[in-house]
Amino acid sequence: MTQRLAAWTQHTQRSALQDMLEITSGPEYISFGLGLPNAACFPTEQLALSANEVLLRQSNPLQYAPSFEPLKRQIQELMSRRGVTCSTSQIFLTAGAQQGIQLLARLLLDPGGTVMTEEVTYTGFLQILEPFQPRILTVPTDPVTGIDVDRLETILQKEERPACLYVIPSGHNPLGYTLSREKRQRLARLAAEYEVPLIEDDPYGFLAYDDLELPAVKSFQSDGVYYVGSFSKILAPGLRLGWIVADEAIIEKLSIVKEAADINTATLTQRIAADFLAKDAFELHLRHLLLEYKSRRDCMLEHLSAQLDGIGAWTTPSNGMFIWVRLPAHLDAMTLFQESIATEKVTFFPGNVFAAGQNGNASSSFRLNFSFNDPGKIEEGVARLSRLVKRHL
């Protein structure tokens, strides 16, 4: 039988992310590619205790169920650390942040509609857009200072109002920047003034390494800002838990879209997370996680400096999991990547993977993840990578 599929699927392909996941699974590779947390940092034994508690002591941990109120209250408390005051009825649980963004896109965007994002942005957002075949308005961005809010305003003045603006203000993926307080305030004001729904993707907001936890954009402007949070980076991705903070009217619409998507978020993992978060263990876990990731970040920066000083450029990310490395313009990161797979066996994401629309600047840059590997592997991986880069100078 001829396979007849929806029109948008004709031009779609497996993402580099998926291919990478398979390619780099062998032990001979050092992976700086995927945005994976460090598995040794998961509070596995404590989650085992919570699983026991939930399954043997709580009633109905395995049934279909509406969102678990105690977990929503824990999230409410987490949000106050991000400067956001909200009620539990403004919190909506999702199967990870990716689902949160996807449900919001379904709610905000018409097929063929217009969306706005940075020239270099999270690939998962671009994948979400594909079935909508939208017009994408791209805003210039910078690895150090982040989204260009002046240009953003110019575009908003000139163009039709987009269905949404997507941003990652803290520990940007892939650029690593964390937006200043002033730019956050400006973003919040522009979203309100031009009535553009703003999706604030904040998986790395809690991963702040330098005592500089800037408040969420949503803290400056609640109305029309859709905050998306995740337990994948601060607890464990294998639970598939995230959340959205939005107006109650939107929550009601979201519940319709969510029910059509997968009925409800897994009752069991909701309960396990809630049990763990209710204990003091979470504070200790988060403090430990920050120390571990900070030392990995510093280790990668140290070895990059030792090996590529004067050749490449990068910044110290205050949040998240990524360092964005810019090389001289004549180097092509995709070529380096292909050679690396074959020879040095270190993986990373070439910059163009993250390009929304046309942006030549990303082709000589690449993204390195520093959370996944131990310092020893980081040192070895940076050495291999530097050897590769130097061969191409």
Q: Which of 26, 27, 111, 376 binds a second copy (CB under 8 A)?
A: 111
Nearer to a second copy, 22 or 280 (CB): 22
H helices of 161-316, in order, are 181-193, 248-262, 267-277, 281-308
Q: 279, 195, 273, 286: which is closest to 240 by C-alpha?
A: 273
Nearer to a second copy, 22 or 182 (CB): 22
- 4 near a second copy (CB under 8 A): yes
- 63 near a second copy (CB under 8 A): yes
- 232 near a second copy (CB under 8 A): yes
Cα separation, 267 vs 270, in Å, equals: 5
Cα separation, 376 vs 165, in Å, equals: 40
3-state class (DSSP) for residue 270: helix
Closest separation between CB of residue 3 and a second copy, Å?
A: 6
Burial class (CB in 10 A: 0-12, 13-18, 19+), 63: exposed
Nearer to a second copy, 131 or 357 (CB): 131
Pick the piece of the chain touching a second copy (CB under 8 A) from 10-18, 349-357, 360-368, 379-387.
10-18
Burial class (CB in 10 A: 0-12, 13-18, 19+), 212: exposed
Cα separation, 48 vs 105, in Å, equals: 35
- 266 near a second copy (CB under 8 A): yes
Q: Which of 160, 223, 248, 283 binds a second copy (CB under 8 A)?
A: 223
Q: 337, 346, 329: which is closest to 382 by C-alpha?
A: 346
Largest Cα separation within the chain, whole Å, is 64
Q: Which of 62, 144, 284, 291 binds a second copy (CB under 8 A)?
A: 62
- 55 near a second copy (CB under 8 A): yes
- 163 near a second copy (CB under 8 A): yes
- Give CA separation, 328 vs 32, 160, 303, 362, 385, in Å: 20, 37, 19, 11, 15
Q: In what order do the strands lie in the sheet with 225-230?
A: 91-94, 242-245, 225-230, 198-201, 164-167, 114-118, 135-139
- 373 near a second copy (CB under 8 A): no
Nearer to a second copy, 218 or 326 (CB): 218
Pick the piece of the chain touching a second copy (CB under 8 A) from 200-208, 243-251, 274-282, 342-350.
243-251
- 288 near a second copy (CB under 8 A): no
Closest separation between CB of residue 47 and a second copy, Å?
A: 6
Site for a second copy in 128-157 (CB under 8 A): 128, 130-131
- 281 near a second copy (CB under 8 A): no
Q: Print the binding letters for residues 318-357 with a second copy: x by CB under 8 A, - otherwise.
A: ----------------------------------------
Looking up tokens 């029309």 gives 224
Nearer to a second copy, 62 or 212 (CB): 62
Site for a second copy in 13-42 (CB under 8 A): 13-15, 17-18, 21-22, 34, 36-37, 39, 42
- 170 near a second copy (CB under 8 A): no
- 89 near a second copy (CB under 8 A): no
Site for a second copy in 182-221 (CB under 8 A): 192, 195, 197
- 93 near a second copy (CB under 8 A): no
Closest separation between CB of residue 162 and a second copy, Å?
A: 10
Asked if residues 114 and 133 have their Cβ atoms less than 8 Å apart, the reply is no
167 membership: H or E segment, kind and range: strand 164-167
Asked if residues 199 and 226 have their Cβ atoms less than 8 Å apart, the reply is yes
- 95 near a second copy (CB under 8 A): yes
Closest separation between CB of residue 239 and a second copy, Å?
A: 6
Q: 211, 239, 176: which is closest to 32 by C-alpha?
A: 176
Q: What letter represents residue 236's amino acid? A: A
Q: 132, 103, 313: which is closest to 201 by C-alpha?
A: 103
Nearer to a second copy, 268 or 313 (CB): 268
